[in-house]
Amino acid sequence: MNSKRENAAPKAAAGFSAVVRGRVQGVGYRYFVLECARALGLSGYVRNLPGGAVNVVAAGPRESLERLLESLHRGPFLARVDDIAVAWAPPSAPQGEFHIRS
């Protein structure tokens, strides 16, 4: 049930940080995440981590974040996702357009 307060909440009402493990570097995974997150209107970033994992930090409406998370499990054609560790929290991603961070 939505209350008036929830409807008036800012767009970035939820957030998560996820570490994606598997074959997710060198297969276009970050660009896949970038396209999905921008299509969903989310803010945040995606970056490679040492050891071959990818970190995704995203903020926006909870429903859109859940859709992004579903996409993270799928990944692009050449990727293989073995595990995703997700920590839900209040939004900590910078506002603005989703981007790839070095």
CB–CB of 84/51 below 8 Å? no
62 is catalytic: no
Give CA separation, 7 vs 13, 56, 63, 95, in Å. Answer: 10, 26, 13, 19
CB–CB of 27/43 below 8 Å? no
Check 48, 55, 74, 80 and give the catalytic one.
48
Check 30, 38, 47, 67 and give the catalytic one.
30
2 is catalytic: no
Active site residues: 30, 48
